[in-house]
Structures are given as C-alpha cells and as structure tokens.
Structure 1
Amino acid sequence: MTQGPSAEPGVIDLLGLLAYAELGSFFRLADDAGLAPSLRTKGELAGLAATEQSHYQAIHDRLVELGVDPEEAMAPFIAPLDAWHERTEPQSWLESLVKTYVGDGIAGDFYRKVAELADAETRALVEDVLAETGRAEFVAGQVRAALEEDPKLAGRLSLWARRLVGEALSQAQSVAVDRPELAGLLSRGSERDKSGSGLGDLAAVSRMFASLTEGHTARLAAMGLAD
C-alpha cells in the first residue's frame, strides 16, 4: 500500500505499537474472564475484552485510511511486546489483574505522551482508545476485595507491581531507541534535535520515561497496595 500524506513514520509506529498492544489486551482479558471466580466477574471482563477489540479495530481502520498495511505496522512490535509478556507471566488470577492495571496504565501514559506530539487526528484517536471505560475501577475493586479477604497478599502483589513497572519501562525504552522515528516524536521541537545528531531523541526518551512513574503510586493506592 501507499502511505497517505499524513502518514509520518513515527505516527505509523505509534499506531502499529498501540494496535498490537490492544490486540494483546483483548486476548489477556478474555483469558482472565475464563478464570474469573464468579459469573458476574466473567461477564465484566468479557465486556472489557470486547472494548479492547473495538479499540484495535479503530486503529486498524485508521492505518488502512492512511494507506498502511496494519500487519506491517504492527510487525516491528510483536517480538518486544511478546518478550515483555513472557517475562511477566502472572502466576495467579490476581497477579494477572494487577498486571492489567499497572502494565496497561504505564503503557497508556507512554502512548499519550507520544501522541501529544503527533497530528491532531492521531492524538484524538489515541485519547479515545485509551479512555477508561470502567476497567480501572473494576480491576482495582477486585484487588481491594481480595485484600480484604486476605491482607497477607498485599506484600506479594506490591512487589509484583514494582517488578511490572521496571520491566515495562525497560521494554518501552528499548522499543523507542530501536525505532528512531518513534523516538523522534518525543523530541519534536527540541533545540538539540536540530543538529540531526539524534542525541536529542535519546535525551527526550530518558526524560519522558522518568516521568512515567508519576502515576504508579496512585495506581497502587487505588488497589490498596503500598509502594
């Protein structure tokens, strides 16, 4: 396919990354629904999975509009995202919920920050896809309820959440460095970047990732966990 006039390489990378992430979220939530302890919870998680699939379809359609093959756009991100999931394989249903809440939260912060530097249409699409549809509240509520029944779980789940953040930041930074067009979005407008040396890109990436942990404490508190 031929790329449309607004299909900047960095924007295509952002959409490809987000598309594959949303597709993965669909499968993870569907799996979680199957393991849920009650029919009500199964239904809630199944609905959240359906929402993720609709988000994936919206990004897929946008890539097609831009004249980009969605599979080609997602291809560079299959290996790094799959590797992250392999390194953070949950050992229980609760760990899976914490991973959904913490991992997707950090990833969402990353996508939003990159999208802020993209064109208006891409920015609006990313914001729409990442808009919370009750998932955060539901997942946090499930974790809090489990902690009320067994407070001893708090320590283990807090350590798990901390590990997830470290792995997510490490993998996201690796992706950004490996995809210079994506990193270029982060340093758009930077005076250093005008030299064309690429140093501005790396500096912007480092600054951005340092800011991604700001929401971590709030997420832990929402689940009843301590940092």
Structure 2
Amino acid sequence: MIQGPSDSPGVIDLLGLLAYAELGSFFRLADDAGLAPSLRSKGQLAALAAAEQAHYQTLRDRLEGLGVDPEEAMAPFVEPLDAWHSRTEPQSWLESLVKTYVGDGIAGDFYRKVAALADEETRDLVEGVLAETGRAEFVSETVRAAVDEDPKLAGRLSLWARRLVGEALSQAQAVAVARPDLAALLAKDPKASGDDGTGLGDLAAVSRMFASLTDRHSARLEAMGLSG
C-alpha cells in the first residue's frame, strides 16, 4: 500500500477535519453533561468532554509541528460539519446520546480508513485520538436502560439512528469529494481506487469506502438495544 507523507495536503486535510470534529465533540458532550438527569451521568459526560478537548489539543500540536496553522487547516470543514449538526439537531437528551454514538462512530470509521492510507505517524496519531474513552459503553448502557424502562422508545430511536447514518454518509462523502487531496489519499489504496487513467478513480474509491462504513452500524444499534 502506498502511504502519503505526513505533510501531504491530504494528511493535513485529515488532521484539520478531525481537529474540528474533536472540538465540536467537546462542546456537545459538555452540553450533554449539563442536561444529564443524574450527577453520575453529569460526571461521566464531563470526563468524556475533557478527553475530547485533550484530543483536539493533540491534533493542534501535530499541525503546528508540521508548520501548519491549525485554524487554517480546520477552516474548510467548519461549514460542512456545522451544517451536518444543524440538520441533525436532537430533540431530547437520549437522541443526543444516540447521535454521539452513531454519528461519531461512523465518522471515526471514516477517519481510520483514511489514516490507514497515510504515513505511520499519522495513522498512530489518529488511532490514539479515536481510542475509546468509555463513551461507547456509557451511551450504550444508558440508552439500553432507557429502552428497557420504556420499550416504546426503541422504534423512535431506531429511526433516528437510521437517519443519522444517512446524513453522516452523505455529508462525509460531500466533504471528501470537495477536498480532492483527501479523495486522492483514499485512492492511494490500489484495492480501492480502480484508477483507469480517466481521473475518476478517486471518486470511485470514495464511493466504495463509504459503502463499507455501515458494517458496524448494526452492532452499535444492538449495543443500545435498538433494532436495525
């Protein structure tokens, strides 16, 4: 597999995208902590928010180490990520938790797949930033307990999760296509690109990669006690 250098435009895009995503996750988890119904939940979500802020700082430091202005690296992704969050505004605390688990899970799968095609240092950095900090367990246990208490929630939350997946895939694909360097990084995988010299190989790689991102969706729904 051909790997991109750590300072390639595609890698800078990946780090900028992930940095802004981590910053957004910090604010959302902090908001969720404020709305949590118990002190235990407030404390757990506050700890998760702190972990996201630390991840954001790690990415900033890496970008600065590469001689890149972090704000400039993040700037192209502010509008598309903010648009995704505007379109998927939760209507309840539980919907917000499902969004965190499903939306961030799909995004994390995407970041890992792209990072696997970059240099080893970038791959290790992304894996470290995306390492589970207990969020999946907290969300799945909390949602499952709520569904056990009120089974009528299952149908509504399942539909919400399905909508989130569709919106996340659509938005992420649009971002990749709009950032040709990011799409080109994906096409470095000879198994995915199918490049035939027409210049369409990058888009084909993007499409095939996104088609594979739903692989873990059923497992996430099952963990929360929801149907597919």
TM-score scaled by length of structure 2: 0.95
Map of 2:88 onto structure 1: 88
Aligned mates of 1:192, 1:168 — CA distance in 2: 24
Q: Is 1:225 paired with 2:223?
A: no
Query: In structure 2, what is the Cα distance between the partners aligned to 1:100 and 1:198?
Result: 36
Provide, for residues 17-43 of structure 1, a one-character-per-residue CA deviation record: whole Å limited to 9, x for no partner.
Answer: 000000000000000000000000000
Match of 1:165 in 2: 165
Correspondence for 1:176: 176
How many residue pairs were aligned?
222
Q: Deviation at 1:193?
A: 3.5
The change in CA–CA distance for 1:192 and 1:151 in structure 2 (over 3 A counts) is: closer
Deviation string 1:8-67 (CA, Å, 9 cap, x unpaired) is 000000000000000000000000000000000000000000000000000000000000
The whole-number CA distance in structure 1 between the counterparts of 2:8 and 2:195 is 17
- Counterpart code for 2:91: Q
Give the structure 2 partner of residue 21 of structure 1.
21
Matched, 1:140 2:140: yes
Structure 1, residues 47-106: CA drift from partner, whole Å, max 9, x if none?
000000000000000000000000000000000000000000000000000000000000
Q: Give, in angstroms, the shift of residue 6 of structure 1.
A: 3.7
Q: Distance in 1 between matches of 2:196 and 2:69?
A: 31
Q: Distance in 2 between matches of 1:61 and 1:189?
A: 28
Structure 1 residue 110 displacement after superposition: 0.1
Runs of 5+ consecutive residues of structure 2 not aligned to the other structure: none
Partner of 1:154: 154
Q: Distance in 2 between matches of 1:40 and 1:168?
A: 30
Alignment partners' CA distance in 2, 1:164 and 1:185: 26
Residue 203 of structure 1 is matched in structure 2 by 204
Partners of 1:138 and 1:47 lie apart in 2 by 11
What is the CA–CA distance in structure 1 between the aligned matches of 2:211 and 2:106, rounded to whole Å? 12
Identical positions, percent = 81
Q: What displacement does 1:149 show?
A: 1.2
Amino acid aligned to 2:141: G
Q: Using the alignment, how far apart are the partners of 2:213 and 2:222 within structure 1?
A: 16
Amino acid at match of 2:211: A
One-letter identity of the residue aligned with 2:20? Y
Give the TM-score of the pair, scaled to structure 1: 0.96
Pairwise CA RMSD: 1.1
Question: Aligned pair in 2 of structure 1 residues 67, 145: CA closer, same or farther (>3 Å)?
Answer: same
